[in-house]
Amino acid sequence: MTIDHTQTEIPAEWDRRGLPTWSFFSSEMLEAEKDLLFRSHWQLVCHMSDIPNSGDFIACDFVGERALVIRGHDNQIRAFHNLCRHRGSRVVGQDTGNCRSAIICPFHGWVYNLDGTLRGPAQPQSLPDLDPLEYGLKSIELDIWKGFVFVRFKPGPQPPMSQVLQRFSKETDQYNLGTILPSGDGYWTEEVAANWKCVRDVDNEGYHVPLAHPGLHDLFGANYHDEPLRSGISKSIGSFRANAGRQWSVRNYVSILEPPQDLDKDHQNAWLYIGIFPNLVFGLYPDSVIFYQEFPIELGKTIQRGSSYRHANENRRMRLSRYLSKRIDRMTSKEDEQLIQWSWEAAFSSGFDGILLSDLEYGVHSYHNALREFFPILNENEPAEGMLALRNTELLSSNTDQN
Ligand code: FES
Ligand SMILES: [Fe+2]
């Protein structure tokens, strides 16, 4: 397969201004985003290989929700609210672990089976009879794509992940994602002092790579292409430049890497990123697979979370390559973190007059357009206090009527 590097048609005239500044500072906007984006879109929790044995679980919190993904005795993977039916305690207190034969709530000791049904409350004589299903853990919608486990707290317009990712399936199919294994480094989280949209705005363009990411620039040079968001996914690919290696990590990475034969020529020496609306990016490298996502905490506080995986048949040389690609990645995310914070702080400055996007940042614009589909309110001035959700719903329904 040959990569189609054709750049997306960029119109001669387009609105280069980005999102209105008020949308970064509105608490009502943030609450609406939590609901229409984060709760109503599939959110990646883990890979099946993170929880290989019965009772293994991963818990993950975002926008006030608590997800628990657990493997049952029947080998089934299920997703629940991490919420005891007695008084709402977490039923598991750690982010990862094993529940052995049952989930025991740490508050008063109600016991749940691994399939979520209630086995029994502590001191049952003190309570009426409780139906195991009715008082079982509450399920969350679950979807699994190539071993990656997604949950969704509210119904939404996004189709199953296999459909979302269909457009790039010829590329993703090569990476044997179903058989990857955890790298052993666990899940990382990082708090960023910025609005979550600043994180996306920095991540959605490669215009900043030559200056801001010396490591990536060394690795890819001009061979870096963005394909803006369309139908909920975007793609960036960086093919290694012929004379890569000014930096120690990059030099050693390209010389040690023995590209897997499962990958076609275009992907043997390239890093492929697949972005999934609204907040997830997969990095598919010859040596490893990573993902990262972001969740808003407050207007100016965001949590980034991610993990990395190795290929099942990794040899010593591949392990070394993976170590080096991780080094390059770590530098990149530190560099981005700084840029994200500066973008956020800019809006507090009395000199800030909005932004002006280059054609090379059209990906930022395409992402904003996708946001505007959920938030037509972004085309207006900030609504009066208390009116945002109502006005946005009005606009959404008048859009539906027009279609
Ligand atoms: S809150 Fe779980 S047993 Fe009481
Ligand atoms: Fe970056």
Instruction: Find out whether the beta carbon of 89 lies less than 6 Å from any atom of ligand 1.
Output: yes
pLDDT digits (tens, 9 = 90+) for 241-259: 999 999 999 999 999 999 8
The pLDDT value recorded for residue 403 is: 62
Instruction: Find out whether the beta carbon of 70 lies less than 6 Å from any atom of ligand 1.
Output: no
In the predicted model, is pLDDT for residue 106 greater than 70?
A: yes
Instruction: Find out whether the beta carbon of 140 lies less than 6 Å from any atom of ligand 1.
Output: no
The pLDDT value recorded for residue 401 is: 74
Nearest bound ligand to CA 112? 1
- Ligand 1: which residue has its CA nearest to atom 1? 87
Give me ligand 2 centre to Cα 338, in Å. 10
Domain boundaries, the chain: 1-41+180-403, 43-155
- Separation CA 140–CA 152 (nearest Å): 6
What percent of the chain lies above the pLDDT cut of 70?
A: 98
CB 110, CB 69: distance < 8 Å: no
Alpha helices (H) along 221-361: 248-256, 265-268, 316-346
pLDDT digits (tens, 9 = 90+) for 156-184: 999 999 999 999 999 999 999 999 999 99
Instruction: Find out whether the beta carbon of 85 lies less than 6 Å from any atom of ligand 1.
Output: no
pLDDT digits (tens, 9 = 90+) for 266-286: 999 999 999 999 999 999 999
Nearest bound ligand to CA 111? 1
pLDDT digits (tens, 9 = 90+) for 5-53: 445 678 999 999 999 999 999 999 999 999 999 999 999 999 999 999 9
Point out the ligand 1 atom lying closest to the alpha carbon of residue 121. 3
Give me ligand 1 centre to Cα 61, in Å. 19
Average pLDDT, the chain: 95
Give me ligand 2 centre to Cα 244, in Å. 19
Give me ligand 2 centre to Cα 211, in Å. 10
Write the CA distances from 48 to 119, 145, 162, 195, integer angstroms: 25, 10, 16, 31
pLDDT digits (tens, 9 = 90+) for 295-329: 999 999 999 999 999 999 999 999 999 999 999 99
In the predicted model, is pLDDT for residue 187 greater than 70?
A: yes
CB 304, CB 190: distance < 8 Å: yes
Across the range 383-390, mean pLDDT stands at 97
Q: Which fold has domain 43-155?
A: Rieske Iron-sulfur Protein (2.102.10)
Give me ligand 2 centre to Cα 65, in Å. 29
Instruction: Find out whether the beta carbon of 106 lies less than 6 Å from any atom of ligand 1.
Output: no
Q: How many CA atoms lie within 13 A of 243 on its CB side?
A: 2
Instruction: Find out whether the beta carbon of 225 lies less than 6 Å from any atom of ligand 1.
Output: no
User: Which among 343, 347, 377 is positioned nearest to 21, based on CA atoms?
Assistant: 347
Instruction: Find out whether the beta carbon of 127 lies less than 6 Å from any atom of ligand 1.
Output: no
Q: Which residues contact 200 (CB under 8 A, 6 or more apart)?
A: 278, 279, 294, 367
pLDDT digits (tens, 9 = 90+) for 54-75: 999 999 999 999 999 999 999 9
- Ligand 1: which residue has its CA nearest to atom 4? 108
In the predicted model, is pLDDT for residue 2 greater than 50?
A: no
- Counting every residue written for the chain, the total comes to 403
Instruction: Find out whether the beta carbon of 84 lies less than 6 Å from any atom of ligand 1.
Output: yes
The pLDDT value recorded for residue 4 is: 43
User: Which among 314, 302, 306 is positioned nearest to 257, based on CA atoms?
Assistant: 314
CATH of domain 1-41+180-403: 3.90.380.10
CB 265, CB 237: distance < 8 Å: no
What percent of the chain lies above the pLDDT cut of 90?
A: 94
The pLDDT value recorded for residue 1 is: 34
Place of tokens 């900043």: 208
pTM: 0.95
Joined together, the tokens standing for residue 364 give: 């930022």
